[in-house]
């Protein structure tokens, strides 16, 4: 994501209210909690505090906000405090100090009965092992949370069936859990969490027990579903690739403290300290960087109602070998190559349509670069379109910007550097035949 895009995102965030707000939250296990906190804040290490007080600091002075529909990822090594922090949000663990708000409500002080309702209706918890019931069918497992909420049997079944389709388990509803593979069981667990329609999901390493291939499938499925349901998610993991791939923002924890919080791109580009630098040094950028981080604005686009002569003239003036074609609402129609447009000009064609490849590659903003790379192998120098959820053209990826995005020190920028916005730049003499180009000049 460019600095301009990050500023835009921040501006949009400032216009909304956070759904979760954590203020100066600390969690201490042991009787000498206040002494432990004072020692830690004075500069003593976590290990020194434990030796001298017998108390363990799980979380120290955590401050962050989570915005509606955001995937907020907390990552750290074993013992860093990430799971403790997650459980403090819904008071499965009581904070020693600090305040936690859900939708502006101070959850730290609400009565137990009201807290139970909040957990049932608003905030769900998803663990590494989903705790599926082996003596129940898939549909009954999915609807179990709704049953706890007192929802009628008819509504429970309909919601479970809808969610079953969402996670790709059509036709499996009447099977027992024991009849499913591990990956399918994980889908059932995810479906159960989604069926309750709780606004917030707290997910504690839900995919960590899976083998790498199934884990990757579950990450893809989770992102696809999140694109539709747009829940607010706090996701805990120890896997950096997973954190950077899933998270809109990532908090890195060490010894109970959040040592850096930011977008994946920001953390990769500007690690806050030596610890974070070591933490991210072996990252495979093809896995964790997204299409939107390397896309650039196209210099020119063509519109469906324009004729070949006008479009060829525009391409020649910009030195383009390809141009994306959009409708008036900027929905992507396809990609036109200069040579194909030139042939239409030579034949005195009035419509651009015959030169437009409607099957040209396109990816979403959150598509990992690892999935973009093969498109350049298959299609040579042709650019790749990046579209938003409405299939509108959001930006383009060209070979130069992709290569820049796969390094730690170079990336496409609006502030100088190499110009990647040409979308397949080529010398004017290479675009089409001489006669066609001349007519394009006069068009």
pLDDT score, position 438: 35
Fold entry, domain 293-442: CBS-domain (3.10.580)
Structure tokens, 97: 């100090």
Strands 105-106 and 301-303 come out as: unpaired
pLDDT score, position 250: 95
pLDDT score, position 418: 37
pTM comes to: 0.69
How far is it, in rounded angstroms, from Cα 111 to Cα 115? 6
Helix or strand holding residue 72 (H, E)? strand 71-76
pLDDT score, position 309: 94
Ramachandran class of 115: left when φ > 0, alpha when ψ lies in -120 to 50, beta otherwise? alpha
What secondary structure does DSSP assign to 308-340, as a single string? HHHHHHHHHHHTBSEEEEE-TT-BEEEEEEHHH
Q: Which of 435, 443, 442, 430 is nearest to 346 (CA)?
A: 435
Burial class (CB in 10 A: 0-12, 13-18, 19+), 437: buried
Q: Identify whether the C-beta of residue 80 lies closer than 8 Å to the C-beta of residue 254.
A: yes
CA dihedral 77, 80, 82, 87 (to 10 degrees): 140
Helix or strand holding residue 26 (H, E)? strand 20-29
pLDDT score, position 181: 80
pLDDT score, position 421: 41
pLDDT score, position 427: 37
Give me the CATH code for the 18-122+198-283 domain, please. 3.40.50.300
pLDDT score, position 44: 93
Per-position pLDDT tens, the chain of length 443:
444 455 445 544 444 789 999 999 999 999 999 999 999 999 999 999 999 999 999 999 999 999 999 999 999 988 899 999 999 999 999 999 999 999 888 988 888 888 888 888 888 887 766 678 888 888 888 888 888 777 888 888 888 888 888 888 888 888 888 888 877 888 888 888 888 778 999 999 888 777 777 788 888 888 888 888 888 999 999 988 889 889 999 999 999 999 999 998 888 888 999 999 888 887 777 777 788 888 988 889 999 989 999 999 999 998 899 999 999 899 999 999 999 999 999 999 999 989 999 999 899 988 888 888 888 876 567 899 999 888 999 999 988 878 777 764 444 443 333 343 444 443 333 334 333 333 333 33
Q: What share of the chain is helix, strand, coil (3-state, %, to 5)?
A: 45, 20, 35
Q: Which of 157, 85, 145, 84 is nearest to 120 (CA)?
A: 145
Domain locations along the chain: 18-122+198-283, 293-442
Contacts with 275 (C-beta within 8 Å, 6 or more apart), sequence order: 254, 259
β-pair partners for 22: 64, 100
Q: Which of 51, 54, 74, 52 is nearest to 62 (CA)?
A: 74
Contacts with 429 (C-beta within 8 Å, 6 or more apart), sequence order: none
Q: Which residue has the tokens 């909304």?
A: 16
Q: What is the CA radius of gyration of the chain?
A: 26
How far is it, in rounded angstroms, from Cα 61 to Cα 45? 15
């Amino acid at each position: 994501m460019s600095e301009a895009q990050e500023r835009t995102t921040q501006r949009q965030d400032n216009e909304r209210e956070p759904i979760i707000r954590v203020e100066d939250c600390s969690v201490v296990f042991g009787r000498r909690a206040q002494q432990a906190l004072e020692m830690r804040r004075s500069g003593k290490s976590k290990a020194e505090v434990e030796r001298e007080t017998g108390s363990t600091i799980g979380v120290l002075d955590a401050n962050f906000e989570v915005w509606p529909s955001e995937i907020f990822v907390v990552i750290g090594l074993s013992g860093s405090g990430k799971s403790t922090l997650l459980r403090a949000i819904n008071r499965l663990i009581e904070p020693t100090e600090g305040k936690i708000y859900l939708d502006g409500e101070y959850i730290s002080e609400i009565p137990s009965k009201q807290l139970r309702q909040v957990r049932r209706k608003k905030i769900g918890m998803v663990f590494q092992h989903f705790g599926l019931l082996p003596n129940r069918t898939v549909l009954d497992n999915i609807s179990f949370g709704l049953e706890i909420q007192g929802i009628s049997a008819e509504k429970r079944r309909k919601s479970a069936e809808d969610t079953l389709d969402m996670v790709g388990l059509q036709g499996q509803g009447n099977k027992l859990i024991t009849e499913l593979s591990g990956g399918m069981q994980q889908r059932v667990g995810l479906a159960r969490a989604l069926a309750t329609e709780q606004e917030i999901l707290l997910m504690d390493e839900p995919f960590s027990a899976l083998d790498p291939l199934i884990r990757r499938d579950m990450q893809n499925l989770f992102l696809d579903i999140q694109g539709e349901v747009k829940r607010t998610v706090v996701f805990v993991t120890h896997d950096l690739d997973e954190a950077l791939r899933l998270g809109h923002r990532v908090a890195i924890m060490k010894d109970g403290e959040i040592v850096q919080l930011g977008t994946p791109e920001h953390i990769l580009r500007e690690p806050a300290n030596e610890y974070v630098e070591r933490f991210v040094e072996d990252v495979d950028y093809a896995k964790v960087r997204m299409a939107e981080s390397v896309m650039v604005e196209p210099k020119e686009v063509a519109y469906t109602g324009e004729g070949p002569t006008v479009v060829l003239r525009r391409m020649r003036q910009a030195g383009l070998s390809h141009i994306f074609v959009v409708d008036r609402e900027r929905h992507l129609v396809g990609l036109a190559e200069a040579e194909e447009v030139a042939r239409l000009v030579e034949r005195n064609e009035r419509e651009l349509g015959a030169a437009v490849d409607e099957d040209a590659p396109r990816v979403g903003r959150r598509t990992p670069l690892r999935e973009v790379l093969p498109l350049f192998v298959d299609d040579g120098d042709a650019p790749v379109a990046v579209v938003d959820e409405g299939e509108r053209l959001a930006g383009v990826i060209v070979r130069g910007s992709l290569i820049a995005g796969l390094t730690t020190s170079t990336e496409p920028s609006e502030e100088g550097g190499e110009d990647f916005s040409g979308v397949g730049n080529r010398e004017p003499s290479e675009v089409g035949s001489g006669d066609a180009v001349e007519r394009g000049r006069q068009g």
